[in-house]
Chain A
Amino acid sequence: MEPDVSIETSSVIRIAVLPIGTVPPGLLREYQTMLLRQQTIPQSAISSFYTEHQKSPFAHQPWDTGSLRFKFILGGAPPSPWEDFQSNRKILAVIGICHCPSSPDLDSVIDQFNSACKSYASALVHRCFAFCPGDSQLEDGSKKGGNLKLFPPADTQTQEMHLQTMMQDVAASLLMEFEKWVLKAESAGTILKTPLDSQASLNSEEVLKAKKRRLARSQKTIGDYCLLAGSPVDASAHYSTSQELARLTGDYFWYAGALEGGVCALLLDRMGQTDLAMEEEVRYRYNSVIVHYRKSFIQDNAQRVSPLSFELEATLKLARFLCRRELAKEVVELLTSAADGAKSLIDASDRLILFVEIARLYGTIGYQRKAAFFSRQIAQLYLQQENRLAAISAMQVLAMTTKAYRVQSRTSTSEHSLPNKQIGSSHVDGGKMHHHSVVSLFESQWSTLQMVVLREILLSAVRAGDPLAAWSAAARLLRSYYPLITPAGQNGLASALSNSADRLPSGTRCADPALPFIRLYSFPLHPSQMDIVKRNPEREDWWAGSAPSGPFIYTPFSKGESNDSSKQDLIWVVGEPIQVLVELANPCGFDLRVDSIYLSVHSGNFDAFPVSVNLPTNSSKVITLSGIPTSVGPVTIPGCMVHCFGVVTEHLFKDVDNLLLGAAQGLVLSDPFRCCGSAKLRNVSFPNISVVPPLPLLVPHVGGGDGAIILYEGEIRDLWINLANAGTVPVEQVHISLSGKNQDCVISVAHETLKAALPLKPGSEVTIPVTLKAWQLGLADPDPAAGKSAFGSMMRHFKDGSSPTVVIHYAGSLSSSGDPSTVGSSVPPGRRLVVPLQICVLQGLSFVKARLLSMEIPAHVGENLPKPVHVDSQSTERAIGSESKLDRLVKIDPFRGSWGLRFLELELSNPTDVVFDISVSVQLENPSNVDNDSADQDAVEYGYPKTRIDRDCSARVLIPLEHFKLPILDGSFFMKDIQADGPTGSRNSSFSEKNAKAELNASIKNLISRIKVRWQSGRNSSGELNIKDAIQAALQASVMDVLLPDPLTFGFRLVRNALEPAKLDSPNELNSSVQSSASKGPVLAHDMTPMEVLVRNNTKDLIKMSLSITCRDVAGENCVEGAKATVLWAGILSGITIEIPPLQEIKHSFSLYFLVPGEYTLVAAALIDDANDILRARARTHSPDEPIFCCGPPYNVRVIGTA
């Protein structure tokens, strides 16, 4: 059997093309292609070479329309035993091809050619074409003449013309030879035999038959030559004669041959134009051809030879003729019967050819699966041949089937269906699957067939010695069908992979990935230190609006602009390493060693760093792949390059995504990640990655340890943030802000230090001090044990995120860095550096309670009322300068007229295990800030002796309220208010009370803010107690006593000279005066001492009262009220009824006579009659009938003299 047969094959002249001498293969191919263009030579073109020697037997030669057709057989072919039966099987001409430069001696060329021709006995024409002859050869060759034809060197076109001419000459010569042959055959008759004819001698009866039979055969052969000569009408005539004779003699084989020739002649006559009637005719005749070939089967020699191949060939010819989609059914029937016949074929190569033809025809009518099935049969036949060339053929045939079985190599698909562009743009349509890949997923379920095909490819590739193909097949097999392969089989494939790789040069690439499976895990966002923020050059705060602000992840307002940019965008910086997390899975039963894996980037502006990984059996791993962007522009990462099993492959993320999607839908065998115990499918979308020019990069270092800063509540500490520019661009803009909880614990940040350091050159660094003050622990954590277990709860504090963060926005220069490609684009982005201040606040001193304590020291009764001292700033300052410490604490309450001393007592406990030292300071403040020297006064502070609180102890700290001036300054104001409102009714008073309270609170706050309680613990831990609230609460409780004056003020003085009264008329003077402790008049015993009691009405109403004066000699501390006081002597002057007009004062003179020298106390007291509501309220009386008793402060009288 012959490949590629069709009905027209009978009319094609076979020409052997033989290389003569040495012809380089490339040139030989080139010369052959030139020849192939001359396959059809029109008869009209050869007439000039044709000379009619005798009357041509081809009477109906169609000179205008006919043509001669050639088939060039490179290297020739051995003569077929069926040459006589079908003349077109003969080699009718020989063309030698010689490349002159490599065979200089033309004589030897001619010799070689002649000897080569000898093996082609049937050849009628011989020509040797010599290309590219040298000058001498040209000269030489022209003398030689004969069959040697020299082609002078020329351009291709000219040479082709030359060749065409030569071929026309060959055609003409052949035509003339055919004529000769036909004439000879007609006259002499030739013995035509086929292997089918029996060798046995003929009997007499058969001799006659044999003669007729011979005639029939010769007519058939003449017909063949007519066909070859391109004269179908002549051929038809001869064929019909032959058919008649052959049928008569029962020579069915030749009859069928003649019929076949007749059909060819018919087709040739119609010049390829077919219609339905013609098709029907051909079909009918060919069916009869097939039938007769079958009839000619002779049982005798069936072992040796059989006409079956002709029958099958005829079937294939008809099938090819009919081969159209519409007639698919018919073709299929023909091919099916041909395939059935294959079993009876003796020759394996015949079967091979048959299957090849069947596969091709199935392919032509679109039966891809059938074609693939027969291709596989072909491959099996090849593989039976057990040689390398056959194995290569098998491999190639199998490779063709892979498309139908959907197991094709990526190499074959990438050429047409997957251009690189698509890979690049794959991230755009992220989640969507390509239709193509969906179908292939579905079809990939024919795993039984697919695995067989791949296994056969692997086998044939191994046998063919093509390690790359073997590797690819094993990789496909392993990757796609690992769940169906036993661990032993998987191991076998793994060793097949490594064996193949051993024979490949290192660094070989293969389009088909093997293991592991790789999927994108995540693109880690920038660490917070490297955040990139968009820059708005028009705004001063250029970072604003670029970062998500506020607690909401989604805001409807940012939606509009963010759909194209925000989340899907990833910005990488030239020269700064980036990381991508990928997950690898090895679902197979062997340990997988990935020699190197790195990101595959097609855009060429990225340097990827390879890593190597070991994946144990059935395991998956998330690894970090890193790299450095090298130039500005977009980056796409379609997958990873993997060097595994000795071959470099590209693993596309998209493929695995499709696979996983398929697995989720149950289309694919299994999910490799899931069977390795990895988590469920994550759909990681590819962000748009763009690379921007280098940016500055600040690297922070928090001085005082990178760990947590452990502070006690209220502790104040300085720390240093060291910022180094690790980028390659100077920092030109910078801004510090705070965020997070407890921002107010950062007392100060040295903005100026940072600003002054700009521009911060690459490599340089700046240190900015930051002052912290630890916040109070919340009430949620009141557990006193928390302090002790503070280290255990430290982590909790971090998780709470209660620590503030320092956010530094910085950027390089506004103009882009001179790179022309970026000029058009926006300004380079800035960055955000977030330095979390990891503060862990431990419980420190805890506050138990605060109380306001007041204490009075009796004033001495002197000649004058105490010297008034102005309590304004200057006088205070003077007092500070001149007076002793203790003195400053004591002051005269002008409304009481005594020395008052007030303390704020704080009770503190120390639950921690360290010792605290408490120191109190009060900052002096100038109440009137207009003063020039107010600035330095703000800074003046006073320290008091330190109090030490041991661990687990509590202590009380007294804070003297020395400059508690409020009542003095504002007392009259309040007084007036109350007095003004008092008579008009209680309705308004509530309002004014409120008003007064607000003023009061403001004053208290002012006061409180100046009291600072500092503590120190250990060497470097110090802070301040936050006790403002406590003080306020304490003061609030006793506000009445502190602020509101008593309704009556009492004062005593000695009267030396009654004519010289003290100036006490002016209330102002009184109000603003304090008694100086310096006035100590001597009081002598045994002497009448005239005294005056001064009583002042502080209300706006007339007060009637009964005044009493008590003088006691007391050896106790509290000489006024104490019931237990040891009273040595007492005298009471009582029942003095006086009336005092509003805001006036009266004097009441009296005299005392002291008998015993010593210390005495004078106390004035009054019982107010007809008290009004204000007085009652002031006195906190419970019932309206209760007498209101008003008691003055004690005055001290020292009596000297001899007892």
Chain B
Amino acid sequence: MIVCVAVVGHQNNPLYIQSFTEADDALKLHHIVHCSLDVVDERVNNPKKSGPTLNETFLGLLYPTENYKVYGYLTNTKVKFILVTTDLDVRDADVRNFFRRFHAAYVDAVSNPFHVPGKKITSRTFAERVSTIVKSFGLSSAG
């Protein structure tokens, strides 16, 4: 189950962060997302590793922490997508698929002429779409 998704801007500023848990752990998830930026930064700044996967946007498992697994995705505009999940066995393909759909949703949201680049994404449509994708992630992995 996905507990949190986040969009982080290229200056490491949070653009969108949404948790999908009942519990009051927003702060914890914020911390997890914030800390994952370290790993993203490290992957981005270490060209040695990104050599063969130069155009790969999917960063894979960033790090496991406590009960969570954190996955990352980096667009070519240096916008990061972070996914925090509690599922222990996640297939990479599922995550890739999720990120691809999430990316499309993000692109649609920022293509809104009234959206100011660099500002937080407040679109309700985007939020609804994201929650749909998150729900379907659980389904597709089950099925």
Chain A residues close to B by CB (< 8 Å): 325-326, 328, 332, 336, 339-340, 362, 365-370, 373, 438-439, 442-443, 445-446, 448-449, 452, 665-667
Q: How far is A364 from B13 in the complex, measured between Cα atoms in Å? A: 23
Give per-residue flags for B41-52: 1 if the beta carbon is below 8 A from chain A beta carbons, else 0: 110001010000
Check if B96 is an interface residue, CB within 8 A of chain A: no
CB closest chain-B residue, reference A377: B31
Segment of B62-70, B85-93, B102-110, B132-140 in the binding face: B62-70
Inter-chain contacts of B27 with A (CB < 8 A): 448-449, 452
- What is the total of A-B residue contacts with beta carbons within 8 Å? 67
B118 touches A439 (CB 8 A): no
Inter-chain contacts of B101 with A (CB < 8 A): none
A449 touches B13 (CB 8 A): no
6 contacts between A and B (CB under 8 A): A328-B46, A332-B39, A443-B11, A445-B14, A446-B13, A667-B119
A369 touches B119 (CB 8 A): no
**CB neighbors of A among B1-57 (8 A):** 9, 11-14, 26-27, 30-31, 34-35, 37-39, 41-42, 46, 48
From the candidates A326, A332, A336, A449, name the one contacting B34 in the complex (CB within 8 A).
Answer: A449
From the candidates B13, B37, B42, name the one contacting A667 in the complex (CB within 8 A).
Answer: B13
CB closest chain-B residue, reference A376: B31
B11 touches A367 (CB 8 A): no
Given contacts A336-B64, A448-B27, A452-B27, contact A368 B38 (CB under 8 A): yes
A443 touches B116 (CB 8 A): no
| 6 A-B pairs with the lowest CB-CB distances in the bound complex, closest first | A442-B11, A666-B119, A367-B38, A442-B13, A445-B13, A369-B38
Q: How far is the CB of A664 from chain B (nearest CB, A)?
A: 10
Given contacts A442-B9, A443-B11, A445-B14, contact A328 B35 (CB under 8 A): no
Known A332-B39, A336-B64, A665-B116; further 5 A-B contacts with Cβ < 8 A: A328-B46, A369-B37, A438-B11, A448-B26, A667-B13
Check if B120 is an interface residue, CB within 8 A of chain A: yes
Inter-chain contacts of A442 with B (CB < 8 A): 9, 11-13, 118
Given contacts A367-B42, A442-B13, A452-B27, contact A666 B118 (CB under 8 A): yes
Count of residues in B whose CB is under 8 Å from the partner chain = 26
Inter-chain contacts of B12 with A (CB < 8 A): 442-443
CB closest chain-B residue, reference A366: B42
A373 touches B116 (CB 8 A): no
Inter-chain contacts of B46 with A (CB < 8 A): 325-326, 328
Q: How far is A452 from B14 in the complex, measured between Cα atoms in Å? A: 16
Q: How far is the CB of B47 from chain A (nearest CB, A)?
A: 12
Inter-chain contacts of B118 with A (CB < 8 A): 442, 665-667
From the candidates A332, A373, A445, name the one contacting B31 in the complex (CB within 8 A).
Answer: A373
Interface centre among B38, B63, B65, B66 (most CB of A within 10 A): B38
CB closest chain-B residue, reference A405: B34
B38 touches A449 (CB 8 A): no
Inter-chain contacts of A665 with B (CB < 8 A): 116, 118-119
CB closest chain-A residue, reference B36: A369
From the candidates B11, B37, B38, name the one contacting A439 in the complex (CB within 8 A).
Answer: B11
A445 touches B120 (CB 8 A): yes
Q: How far is A325 from B38 in the complex, measured between Cα atoms in Å? A: 12
Q: How far is the CB of B52 from chain A (nearest CB, A)?
A: 16
Interface centre among A326, A339, A442, A445 (most CB of B within 10 A): A445
B11 touches A448 (CB 8 A): no
Inter-chain contacts of B14 with A (CB < 8 A): 445-446
Q: How far is the CB of B15 from chain A (nearest CB, A)?
A: 8
Inter-chain contacts of B119 with A (CB < 8 A): 665-667
From the candidates A325, A365, A370, A443, name the one contacting B13 in the complex (CB within 8 A).
Answer: A443
Inter-chain contacts of A445 with B (CB < 8 A): 13-14, 120
Q: How far is the CB of B16 from chain A (nearest CB, A)?
A: 11
Q: How far is the CB of B125 from chain A (nearest CB, A)?
A: 19
Inter-chain contacts of B116 with A (CB < 8 A): 665-666
From the candidates A326, A370, A666, name the one contacting B38 in the complex (CB within 8 A).
Answer: A370
Q: How far is A370 from B38 in the complex, measured between Cα atoms in Å? A: 7
Inter-chain contacts of B37 with A (CB < 8 A): 369
Q: How far is the CB of B130 from chain A (nearest CB, A)?
A: 19
Inter-chain contacts of B13 with A (CB < 8 A): 442-443, 445-446, 667
CB closest chain-A residue, reference B42: A328
CB closest chain-B residue, reference A662: B118
Q: How far is the CB of A407 from chain B (nearest CB, A)?
A: 13
From the candidates B34, B42, B63, name the one contacting A446 in the complex (CB within 8 A).
Answer: B34
From the candidates B41, B63, B66, name the one contacting A332 in the complex (CB within 8 A).
Answer: B63
Inter-chain contacts of A449 with B (CB < 8 A): 27, 30-31, 34
From the candidates B9, B26, B34, name the one contacting A373 in the complex (CB within 8 A).
Answer: B34
Inter-chain contacts of A446 with B (CB < 8 A): 13-14, 30, 34
B63 touches A336 (CB 8 A): yes
A448 touches B65 (CB 8 A): no
Interface centre among B26, B35, B66 (most CB of A within 10 A): B35
Q: How far is A666 from B12 in the complex, measured between Cα atoms in Å? A: 15
Inter-chain contacts of A373 with B (CB < 8 A): 31, 34-35
Q: How far is the CB of A325 from chain B (nearest CB, A)?
A: 8
CB closest chain-B residue, reference A667: B118
Q: How far is the CB of A319 from chain B (nearest CB, A)?
A: 14
CB closest chain-A residue, reference B38: A367
Inter-chain contacts of B35 with A (CB < 8 A): 367, 369-370, 373
Q: How far is A449 from B14 in the complex, measured between Cα atoms in Å? A: 11
Q: How far is the CB of A31 from chain B (nearest CB, A)?
A: 42
Q: How far is A12 from B29 in the complex, measured between Cα atoms in Å? A: 42
Inter-chain contacts of B41 with A (CB < 8 A): 366
CB closest chain-A residue, reference B37: A369
Q: How far is A332 from B41 in the complex, measured between Cα atoms in Å? A: 14
Q: How far is the CB of B1 from chain A (nearest CB, A)?
A: 21
Q: How far is the CB of A448 from chain B (nearest CB, A)?
A: 5
CB closest chain-A residue, reference B116: A666
Q: How far is the CB of A669 from chain B (nearest CB, A)?
A: 10
Q: How far is the CB of B101 from chain A (nearest CB, A)?
A: 25
Q: How far is A503 from B48 in the complex, measured between Cα atoms in Å? A: 55
Q: How far is the CB of A357 from chain B (nearest CB, A)?
A: 17
Q: How far is A225 from B34 in the complex, measured between Cα atoms in Å? A: 46
Q: How far is the CB of B128 from chain A (nearest CB, A)?
A: 22
CB closest chain-B residue, reference A374: B35
CB closest chain-B residue, reference A362: B38
Inter-chain contacts of B31 with A (CB < 8 A): 373, 449
Q: How far is A438 from B119 in the complex, measured between Cα atoms in Å? A: 14
Q: How far is the CB of B45 from chain A (nearest CB, A)?
A: 9
